[in-house]
Structure 1
Amino acid sequence: MGQRFFGFEKLDIYHLSVEMAAEVYRISAAFPADERFGLTNQLRRAATSITLNIAEGSGRDSRKDFAHFLMQARGSAYEVASALDLAVRLGYLTPEQPQEVLVQAHTLCAKITALARNLKAAP
């Protein structure tokens, strides 16, 4: 991405979430066509929601609001993990395929939690 105009573009968690969302799109591309409006859509929306909540929260007027949106983003990361588990159980993915995304989600959740705590603790 070229020039940066917004504060969220400086956040490590934003870049991690974009990378994770792109990987979710890649691995879900092979899901069955009849899942296009089901699990595929839900998984992709959850992954995208992470990045969107980080961006939206960073534009809010208060640290409390930003922390709230970060917790929404974290919840979406949990949703991604759950959807990937279901995709494996349904045979759409091998157990190995979602591992990179799951590691990214775990790392992202830890970083989101830390930032939200810092925001809430700041005066």
Structure 2
Amino acid sequence: MVNTLANNDNNKNAVSSFSPQLAVSSIEQLPDELLLHIFSFLQASDLLEVELTCHQWKNLAEEETVWKSLYVRYFKVIEPVGKTYKESYFRMSKAEHQWRKIDELFKGFKVYEVGEWDGNYTC
């Protein structure tokens, strides 16, 4: 048992006890549907961490519905570009990263409209 401070009307510093084992067993007893709902709010990096927790959570975190939710929320696209939504998420993330790098590369270039260029090169 672990002693903790409790906020009690009668005594502001009353000490109460709780068992961490009870807290752990309660999360293990959550239905899969509720865990899936919770997982649907996580970021990709969090889902990858959740997959390392236990077999049950790994299976749930790999569910298509979880990755579809993340994919649609992040990319605003419904159709997957890969075999699964998880694969699609990482493909799109990689492509987005590459576009950002290209965008950074070309930030220093001046863009001319048709007929605007005066024929002189400047550095």
TM-score (norm 1): 0.32
Bigger RCO of structures 1 and 2 (CA < 8 A, at least 6 apart) = 1
Which protein is richer in strand relative to its size? 2
Larger radius of gyration: 2
TM-score (norm 2): 0.32
